[in-house]
């Protein structure tokens, strides 16, 4: 039982990371139908901000909010200046434009920081591990799980019980109708976009300790994020959460039990799930 | 190439007019056949790489430019063709033309099998499916190390001389001639296909697939057909690469190659047949010129290029050119 529970726990922690990285994209995609392949570039930005501040002597927990804020700020500027001009364009234009942005971010990261992995200093009390009933629990992973669950709970509450959340839900359900009812979709979308990118930036900063950070980050996780978004269903926080845990656990379990398959299983699972439910597990449309 | 806007042709005469070869087209083909030999004889292996990339871009144009299927995993078929041709020469025989046919068959078969998935989906789900199939194929090639050599690449590919006479030389004379002839033959076939009623209904599906179904064209069957054809052509391009370089690496099936070919096509202009060709020439020459720099930096001009095209030059270079020509014709009758 020990190894199995350990794999489940590690997979769950990894899934929380993936949840932070993907939830913003899920909601923004649901609202505007905008395929944003540069989403993980914002995550990478958050990661590099955390690394830079950390190197300048900031403690880990002071750097985290800054990585959230910087990713949110940069994303909202881009959204207001460039993204918004393409909302009416087709998905090919979305894909090309955002892949272009991701390419630029990769080159910029390589130019500024080099192609090596960037280390980050976490506080001593977040390192190490302890044993519970024969299961090794990494403290940092436990921290990831707590963060992920807290963020998920906060998002669900905000979306269900606030006025702003109601506007976002209306926009996801039927953007044109919501617009017709006088909801300022553009403003709601800009805020959602900033919030989602900020969470990705936070995820990018938290991911460094687990998977490292180098310029390929913008594409490495993009596939996982896209899988989670399309499997979970657009605009569904619960769906993203379940899909992220599913992908996280099956990825870790696959690497642990059948390493020869590599990432093979995940793509197969994704194709099968989408064949079965093209809207994703929790998608409405 | 461009019809004068004041005539309203019948579909038949419209298609007939489009099948006629224009002067610009003939000049283009004479140029690509002559210029590399005469002016850049030391760059013939690059020229053959360009011809292969152009063929690959042409295959993507058939589905992206004409049927409107955005594929981010088209390298799956390129790589399948490359591995098929490589393995065929290693284990059966090294005759190149049969090798190409095998490459086309293998890629076409897998393309046909996956086309049933592709035809069912649209928008994000479709992109995810192409992406998933691309990554799946990459993982298969990577994990079948015993067969494909995995990261080390496929070794031991030996190609016989073409027709038992034209040996593949070090300078790439044979390679370029061979690649160019294959490109031209496939191009002529693709051109014929696009200017047929089938090609016309593909464009209809791209614009409005629901309406096309209402008009009696079976959208899904059409998409299955063109996807299979496109996969087979991509396989031929991959087979050419395997034969002319006598090796197959994982790079022939990875995401980078899928992304590169989209960039080439969009740069030149999707839906013009020549878009992929023009884009491949510019892209490959630029990459060759910048090959000294860190490959990660190469992403920068590529990203700027993509953003610029989407923002300011929809339709790529050829799209911009044809708008320019149209405006010129309007002002001077």
What's the CATH code of the domain at A22? 1.10.3470
Range of the domain at A132: 2-276
Give mean pLDDT, residues A91-95. Answer: 84
pLDDT for B237 equals 95
| A31 contacts in chain B (CB < 8 Å) | none
Contacts with A174 (C-beta within 8 Å, 6 or more apart), sequence order: none
pLDDT for B4 equals 53
Q: Range with the lowest mean pLDDT among A185-189, A220-224, B290-294?
A: B290-294
Phi-psi region of A114 (alpha: psi -120 to 50; beta: other; left: phi over 0): left
Helix axes B299-312, A91-113, angle to 10 degrees: 150
B contact residues 172-231, partner A, Cβ 8 Å cutoff: none
Task: Classify residue A259: in a domain, yes or no.
Answer: yes
Contacts with A117 (C-beta within 8 Å, 6 or more apart), sequence order: A212, A213, A214
Task: Classify residue A284: in a domain, yes or no.
Answer: no
pLDDT band at B184 (very low <50, low <70, confident <90, very high): very high
Task: Classify residue B56: in a domain, yes or no.
Answer: yes
Task: Classify residue B13: in a domain, yes or no.
Answer: no
Task: Classify residue B28: in a domain, yes or no.
Answer: no
| B298 touching chain A per CB within 8 A | yes
Compute CA distances B20 → B126, B183, B193, B230, B325, whole Å: 35, 19, 14, 23, 18
pLDDT for A83 equals 84
| A104 contacts in chain B (CB < 8 Å) | 299-300, 303-304, 307
Range of the domain at B100: 41-255
Which of the residue ranges A181-185, B183-187, B316-320 has the most confident prediction, judged by mean pLDDT? B183-187
Is B296 in contact with A263 (Cβ distance < 8 A)?
A: no
> Where would I find the H helices in chain B?
11-19, 23-39, 44-61, 75-91, 96-118, 123-143, 145-148, 173-194, 197-207, 209-214, 219-245, 255-268, 274-289, 299-312, 316-331
pLDDT for B8 equals 63
Task: Classify residue A281: in a domain, yes or no.
Answer: no
Q: Which residues pair with A136 in a beta bridge?
A: A131
Task: Classify residue B290: in a domain, yes or no.
Answer: no
* Neighbour count for residue B161 (Cβ, 10 Å): 14
pLDDT of B333 over the 60 cut: no
**How many structural domains are present in chain B?**
1
- CB-CB contact of B248 with B153 (8 Å): yes
| A261 touching chain B per CB within 8 A | yes
Task: Classify residue B222: in a domain, yes or no.
Answer: yes
pLDDT for B6 equals 55
> What does the pLDDT look like over B267-306, one tens digit per residue?
888 888 898 999 999 888 888 887 777 677 778 888 888 8
pLDDT band at A268 (very low <50, low <70, confident <90, very high): confident
Q: Which helix (H) or strand (E) holds A251?
A: helix A237-257
| A100 touching chain B per CB within 8 A | yes
* Interface residue of A25, A29, A33, A95 to substitute, partner B, most B CBs within 10 Å: A95
Nearest-10 Cα torsion for B241, B245, B251, B255: -20
Q: Which of B254, B252, B279, B284 is nearest to B265 (CA)?
A: B279
B contact residues 91-150, partner A, Cβ 8 Å cutoff: 117, 120-121, 123-125, 127-129, 131-133, 135-136, 139-140, 142-143
pLDDT of A20 over the 60 cut: yes
pLDDT of B95 over the 80 cut: yes
φ, ψ for residue A23 (rounded to 5)? -65, -35
pLDDT band at B2 (very low <50, low <70, confident <90, very high): low
| B306 touching chain A per CB within 8 A | yes
Q: How far is A258 from chain B (nearest CA, A)?
A: 12
> What does the pLDDT look like over A204-213, one tens digit per residue?
898 888 888 8
pLDDT of B56 over the 90 cut: yes
Q: Which of B12, B25, B103 is nearest to B273 (CA)?
A: B25
**How many structural domains are present in chain A?**
1
Is B296 in contact with A101 (Cβ distance < 8 A)?
A: no
Is A263 in contact with B135 (Cβ distance < 8 A)?
A: yes
pLDDT for A1 equals 53
pLDDT for B226 equals 93
pLDDT band at B7 (very low <50, low <70, confident <90, very high): low
pLDDT for B75 equals 93
B contact residues 51-80, partner A, Cβ 8 Å cutoff: 64, 70, 72
φ, ψ for residue B248 (rounded to 5)? -130, 125
Identify the residue with better confidence: B127 or B236.
Answer: B236
Is B296 in contact with A115 (Cβ distance < 8 A)?
A: yes
Q: Which of A66, A56, A74, A45 is nearest to A208 (CA)?
A: A45
Q: Write the residue in B127, B135, B300 that is nearest to A95 by C-beta.
A: B127
What is chain A's mean pLDDT, rounded?
84
pLDDT for B241 equals 92
pLDDT for A285 equals 54
> What does the pLDDT look like over A100-155, one tens digit per residue?
999 899 888 888 888 788 777 777 777 777 777 777 778 888 888 999 999 999 98
pLDDT for A45 equals 92
Q: Write the residue in A85, A230, A262 that is nearest to B125 by C-beta.
A: A230
Task: Classify residue B67: in a domain, yes or no.
Answer: yes
């Amino acid at each position: 039982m020990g190894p199995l529970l350990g794999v489940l726990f590690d997979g769950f922690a990894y899934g929380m990371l993936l949840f932070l990285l993907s939830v913003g994209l899920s909601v923004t995609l649901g609202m505007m139908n905008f395929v944003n392949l540069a989403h993980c570039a914002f995550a990478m930005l958050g990661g590099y901000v955390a690394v830079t501040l950390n190197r300048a002597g900031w403690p880990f927990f002071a750097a985290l909010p800054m990585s959230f804020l910087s990713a949110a700020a940069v994303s909202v500027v881009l959204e207001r200046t460039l993204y918004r001009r393409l909302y009416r364009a087709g998905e090919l234009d979305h894909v090309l434009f955002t892949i272009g942005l991701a390419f630029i971010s990769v080159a910029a990261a390589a130019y500024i920081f080099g192609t090596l992995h960037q280390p980050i200093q976490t506080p001593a009390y977040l390192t190490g591990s302890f044993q519970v009933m024969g299961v090794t629990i990494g403290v940092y992973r436990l921290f990831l799980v707590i963060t992920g669950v807290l963020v998920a709970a906060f998002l669900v509450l905000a979306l269900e019980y606030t006025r702003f959340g109601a506007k976002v839900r209306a926009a996801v359900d039927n953007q044109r109708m919501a617009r017709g009812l006088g909801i300022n979709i553009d403003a709601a979308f800009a805020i959602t976009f900033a919030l989602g990118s900020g969470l990705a930036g936070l995820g990018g900063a938290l991911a460094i300790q687990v998977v490292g950070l180098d310029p390929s980050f913008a594409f490495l996780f993009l596939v996982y994020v896209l899988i989670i978004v399309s499997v979970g269903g657009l605009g569904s926080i619960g769906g993203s959460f379940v899909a992220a845990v599913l992908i996280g656990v099956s990825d870790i379990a696959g690497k642990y039990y059948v390493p020869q398959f590599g990432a093979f299983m995940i793509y197969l699972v994704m194709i099968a799930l989408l064949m079965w439910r093209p809207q994703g597990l929790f998608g409405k449309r | 190439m461009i019809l004068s806007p004041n005539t309203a042709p019948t579909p038949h005469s419209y298609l007939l007019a489009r099948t006629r070869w224009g002067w610009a087209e003939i000049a283009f083909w004479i140029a690509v056949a002559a210029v590399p030999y005469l002016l850049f004889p030391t760059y013939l292996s690059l020229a053959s790489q360009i011809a292969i990339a152009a063929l690959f871009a042409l295959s993507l144009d058939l589905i992206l430019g004409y049927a409107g299927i955005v594929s981010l995993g088209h390298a799956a078929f390129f790589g399948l063709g490359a591995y098929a041709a490589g393995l065929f020469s290693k284990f059966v025989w090294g005759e190149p033309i049969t090798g190409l046919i095998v490459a086309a068959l293998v890629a076409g078969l897998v393309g046909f099998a996956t086309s049933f998935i592709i035809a069912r989906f649209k928008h994000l789900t479709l992109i995810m499916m192409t992406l998933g199939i691309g990554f799946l194929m990459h993982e298969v090639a990577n994990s079948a190390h015993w067969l494909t050599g995995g990261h080390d690449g496929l070794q031991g590919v030996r190609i016989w001389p073409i027709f038992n006479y034209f040996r593949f030389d070090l300078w790439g004379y044979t390679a370029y001639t061979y690649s160019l002839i294959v490109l031209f033959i496939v191009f002529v076939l693709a051109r014929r296909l696009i200017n047929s009623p089938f090609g016309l209904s593909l464009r209809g599906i791209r614009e409005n697939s629901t309406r096309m179904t209402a008009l009696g064209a079976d959208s899904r069957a059409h998409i299955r057909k063109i996807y299979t054809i496109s996969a087979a052509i991509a396989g031929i391009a991959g087979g050419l690469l395997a034969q002319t370089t006598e090796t197959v690496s994982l790079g022939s099936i990875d995401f980078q190659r899928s992304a590169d070919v989209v960039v080439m096509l969009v740069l030149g202009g999707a839906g013009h047949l020549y878009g992929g060709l023009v884009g491949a020439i510019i892209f490959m020459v630029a990459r060759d010129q910048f090959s000294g720099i860190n490959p990660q930096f190469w992403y920068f001009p590529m990203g700027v290029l993509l953003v610029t095209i989407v923002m300011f030059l929809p339709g790529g270079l050829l799209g911009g050119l044809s708008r320019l020509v149209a405006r010129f014709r309007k002002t001077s009758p």
